[in-house]
Each structure stands twice: as structure tokens, then as C-alpha cells.
Amino acid sequence: MAGQVNLAVGCLVWIEDPEVAWIDGEVVEVNGQDIRVLCSSGTTVEAKSSNAYPKDPEFPSCGVDDMTKLAYLHEPGLLQNLKCRYDVNEIYTYTGGILIAVNPFRRLPHLYDNGIMQRYKGADLGELSPHPFAIANSAYRQMINEGISQSILVSGESGAGKTESTKMLMRYLAHVGGRDGGKSATGERSVEQQVLESNPVLEAFGNAKTVRNNNSSRFGKFVEIQFDRSWRISGAAIRTYLLERSRVCQVSDPERNYHCFYMLCASTEEVEKYKLGNPRTFHYLNQSNCYELDGLDDSKEYTSTREAMDVVGISTAEQDAIFRVVAAVLHLGNVEFAKGKDVDSSEPKDDKSRFHLKMAAELFMCDEKALEDSMCTRVIVTRDETITKCLDTVSATLSRDALAKIVYSRLFDWIVDKINNSIGQDRDSKHLIGVLDIYGFESFKTNRCLTEGQGSQGLESQYTSDTFVRGNVGNLRREQSEGLEGVLLGL
């Protein structure tokens, strides 16, 4: 849009500002490609006309509920609309069939009660104010009307509110497709209840504090809600992707490791049982100076997590085994290595490291020497023989961290499988609504993980296809149905 509009004195424009991104003003002088702008802040700045974007003089003070209603679809115009709506507590805005959510970082319970859900039930998309319930309702109605399974993609940067939005979508689907009273025919908790109640468990083991979010999901989640012939929820499955395994061993300040580590260290009973203590004493936790979260009691969260595990069918014995593994990972991280007797070999550094090695072996219920060898040596199997190669201290440390990551990752996968077995899938279901909650649209200075980057690019490709390609095809068909000639332009 910039550079394509002839600017004259008196035109209202947007220009870049280093502090607030974009600032509006009035053109007071035009000299070829150079312009002078009197900004709304009272300052006068010079800019290139090619870097100026036109501002709509008739833009409503409270914004519009759908971006497609804007006169100018450029970055400053979109941001202005989002800000104006946010200022009047309107955190949701449509862009056609896409819902944009701006995280308010506070509870707004009046937007999500049962009365609001009932209002959106059966309403057409766009008939009521933008809302996650409207998106979920649209997917549910399309599934019924077209007989085709639907998917809802929830993506955004860390801290954008993806997980909370996903919960809202799930609540609405449980409302319109759930069993009356929330109980199954046998009196047990219904499928939709179990899916909703699995969130605290997954968050305990898959969420962590990041710079912008105290409860950031460090994994992607795809929830399949399965429906029977009466369009009632009959089963569900949770699939997880891209758990951030590196966080188990590496934490940047002021972030935290996964919540479960701090919960366990805050539980008085478990501290003695597993020989734990202050999080500051563990290498996998003390790389950051953040150990506690404002307004959060890790001891109470531990109790709540155990209660949630009861709900989703994880027995007390299985819970004990889970937290035994969590404690073992912490002890494993405190095993340091020193140079061994042989060339390029290594061994536990001192008595302290020996103690943590012993505790890790006891908690893993494995042989202590076998655990030590798994970190200090590498076994190479050829066609003719098996070779055991000693590892130096650096390689042994890397081997220790690799073991911790794979153990934690498999523990997380086991928990997800256990939840799925408890919920139960409907193998005969022909229709489902899938809700994908995964981070994307982020830009990092360094590549953290190749697969994360590929996943994010796939999401953006899907977004581009839905927004531009399919949108253009739909517009072309409408034009042709009205007797107008249209041309489909490629990207």
C-alpha cells in the first residue's frame, strides 16, 4: 500500500516510529519523494512518501469487529483497529473466518459463562460479536450440515493465550455436543469432562514459565473430539507434538523448567522420600534465578495435580512412579564428571556426585554401575564385535543430559497415553472436530529446533492458503454465480 498513493498537503498518514511502531499525523509539506508530517503527538518529522501509509479519516473510534471492513488493510491500520477494540475491552476481532485474540492478561469470566455459550448456539458466524464460541459453533454446524470432519487451528507467539483459547473451544464443544449432566450412562465422568480435566496434568508436565508467559505450553497438542450419529461426543484422543526436551537440561534466566520439578521440591513429604530440597541445589533448576511464581503456591499445585491425576485414571502407584522418575531426573543432573584413570575416560567427580548417582539409580530402579556406564561409555555394535568406548568428561556430560531428556520425554508420552486410555476412543466414529494448539508465527534470533521451524512454516502455509487462495476461489465463484467475470490471481 505504501508508495502507491499520491500524497498531498492535508492527507492523513501513518509513519514508522521507533518507540510505538506507528504514529499518525497530517502531511504539511510535500517535496518530491520527501514529506513532512505533523504527528498527533505534536512533533514534526520528515519521511519518505514510499514509507507512509494512508489513514482512514472516517475510522470509528471503537474500531470494527471484522478487519475486512477496514478501508485500508495495511499493518498500521490493522494494529490501530486491534488497539481501539482492546481499549474498550473487545479482545476478539474477525478477519473474515479467522478470529484474532489479543491476550488481556486478566480474567474476564463474564465472557465465557453458560449464558454466553447458549447465545452462540446455532448463531451464524458474524451474527454476534467475535468470540471463540462462534468459531467452535461454526465448526460444529458445518460438521453436521456437510457431514465432514472439521479442524480448528489455534496458533500464535508464546504468551498469546493459545491454551486458554483452546480450553474455551473445548468447553463450547462439550456444551453443544456433551451428554446432559456431564455423566456417562454408567454414572462415570463423561468423555468431555475427562478431556477438560486432563489439562492440569498436561500443564504440570508440559508447561513452564517463559519470559512472556508464566504458564507457557512447551508442546503442541491436537485434540480429536469424536461424535456419534446423533452428533454427541462419543470419544476423544489427545496427540502431542514437539515437546521442548532441551528445557529439561537448559533454562534461560528468568524462565523456569517444567512446573512438576518445582511442585515436587515444594512437597514436604516427597522432599524427604526422594532426598530432594531447595530447587537452588539442582543443576537443572538453578541455571535461572527464577524459582517461584507470583500468586502461585507450588505445594498446593502439587496436591491439585495429584487430584487431577486421580480424575483421569492414573492410580496412586502410577503417580508415585511418575514423580519418582521426576526426582531421578533432578538427581541425574547433579552428577558431575572428572577425568578417569584411562585415557579420555571419565567417572563421577566426587562423593556428592556419587550420592546423586546412587539416588538416581534407586529411583530409576536400575543398577548403579549400569547407569554410570550408560553415561561414561558408548557401546558400538558392528557385524563382528561389540566395542565399548570411553567418553571424556564433556561427552559424558552430554550423554547425561541426553539420557535425562529422553527419559522425561518418554515419561510425558506415557502420561498422554494413559490419559487417552482412560478417556477412550470411539473406533466407530465417522466424524470429529480437531483442535490444534501449537506455537507458531514466532521469529527467533537463532534456530532452536529444525522440526519446530518446519512445523511453524507448515502452519503459516495453511494460514496463507485459507486466507488468500481459498478466499479468492470463494470470491471468484460468487462473482461467477452473479454473472460477473473474474480472474483468479496467483500469489
Number of domains observed in the structure of the chain = 4
Instruction: From 419, 421, 423, 428, select the one nearest 191 (Cα to Cα).
Output: 423
CATH number at residue 88: 3.40.850.10
Same domain, 171 and 245: yes
Same domain, 114 and 207: yes
Instruction: Judge whether 455 is annotated as a binding position.
Output: no
Amino acid identity of residue 103, one-letter, is N
Instruction: Judge whether 338 is annotated as a binding position.
Output: no
Instruction: Judge whether 162 is annotated as a binding position.
Output: yes
Phi-psi region of 42 (alpha: psi -120 to 50; beta: other; left: phi over 0): left
Same domain, 279 and 339: no
Same domain, 22 and 83: no
Instruction: Judge whether 295 is annotated as a binding position.
Output: no
> Running along the chain, 491 residues long, what does each successive block of 10 average in pLDDT?
73 94 96 95 94 95 95 95 96 95 91 96 95 98 97 89 92 88 58 86 96 90 95 95 94 96 96 96 98 95 96 95 99 98 94 98 98 96 92 98 98 97 91 88 55 65 65 58 62 49
> Domain for residue 320, yes or no?
no
> Containing domain of residue 207, as a range?
71-311+422-444
> Domain for residue 325, yes or no?
no
pLDDT, residue 465, reads 67
As a whole number of angstroms, the distance between CA 474 and CA 384 comes to 64
Cell numbers placing 110: 463474564
Same domain, 90 and 118: yes
pLDDT, residue 178, reads 86
pLDDT, residue 459, reads 66
Same domain, 438 and 451: no
Same domain, 66 and 76: no
Cell numbers placing 94: 474477525
Please say which residue of 52, 70, 88 terminates a domain: 70
> Domain for residue 212, yes or no?
yes
CB atoms within 10 A of CB 55: 22
Is the Cβ–Cβ distance between 39 and 45 less than 8 Å? Answer: yes
pLDDT, residue 466, reads 66
CATH number at residue 35: 2.30.30.140
Q: Which residues are catalytic?
A: 158-159, 163, 213, 216-217, 440, 442
Instruction: Judge whether 483 is annotated as a binding position.
Output: no
CATH number at residue 382: 1.20.120.720
Please say which residue of 361, 387, 410 terminates a domain: 410
> Domain for residue 140, yes or no?
yes
Same domain, 6 and 144: no
pLDDT, residue 249, reads 97
Same domain, 137 and 215: yes
Same domain, 292 and 360: no
Instruction: Judge whether 156 is annotated as a binding position.
Output: yes
> Domain for residue 356, yes or no?
yes
Same domain, 182 and 202: yes
> Domain for residue 340, yes or no?
yes
Task: Tell me the helices (H) and strands (E) count for the chain, helix number first.
Answer: 15, 17
Same domain, 347 and 370: yes
> Domain for residue 269, yes or no?
yes
Amino acid identity of residue 448, one-letter, is R
Please say which residue of 70, 101, 131 terminates a domain: 70
> Domain for residue 318, yes or no?
no
